[in-house]
Amino acid sequence: MFSDPEIRYLRSQPLCRLATAGADGRPHVVPTTFRVNDDGTVDIGGHHFADRKKWRDVGANPEVALVVDDVRPPWSPRMVEIRGRAERREAGGEDLGRGFGPEHFHITVRKVISWGLDD
């Protein structure tokens, strides 16, 4: 689902902004780490991940969106938006970063929007 420029860009970036919505429908956005997998899915994890609001949100509503963006000087914005469905997983998150817990999200990508990635 990702183009080659999107994959290169995503793998060059350390953070995304993850948007979730709780059972009450209220949005929540946080910066977090991520990994794009070879099969086109995305994993997100962290320290004490199962204790976080985003973990509870995905338990109530698995629809998520994430944005990876930056700006190159003097003003050349780049962005990838990913929309998908997150599955809470209880094991394997340790592979996503040093000191991370086993819990993580495994996201099946449904839509990708990008711009500014052509060099």
pLDDT at 8 over 90: yes
* Sheet of strand 104-115: strand arrangement: 27-32, 16-21, 63-72, 76-89, 104-115, 42-45, 35-36
pLDDT at 113 over 70: yes
**pTM score, whole prediction:** 0.93
pLDDT at 1 over 90: no
pLDDT at 2 over 70: yes
Average pLDDT over residues 63-69: 98
**Confidence grade of residue 118 (pLDDT, cut at 50, 70, 90):** confident
- pLDDT tens digits for range 77-95: 999 999 999 999 999 999 9
pLDDT at 36 over 90: yes
Average pLDDT over residues 70-82: 96
Q: What is the pLDDT of residue 119?
A: 58
CATH superfamily of the domain spanning 4-115: Electron Transport, Fmn-binding Protein; Chain A (2.30.110.10)
Residue with tokens 């689902």, as numbered in its chain: 1
Write down the domain spans for the chain. Answer: 4-115
Partners of residue 32 on adjacent β-strands? 16
Task: Please say whether the beta carbons of 19 and 33 come within 8 A.
Answer: no
Partners of residue 104 on adjacent β-strands? 45, 89
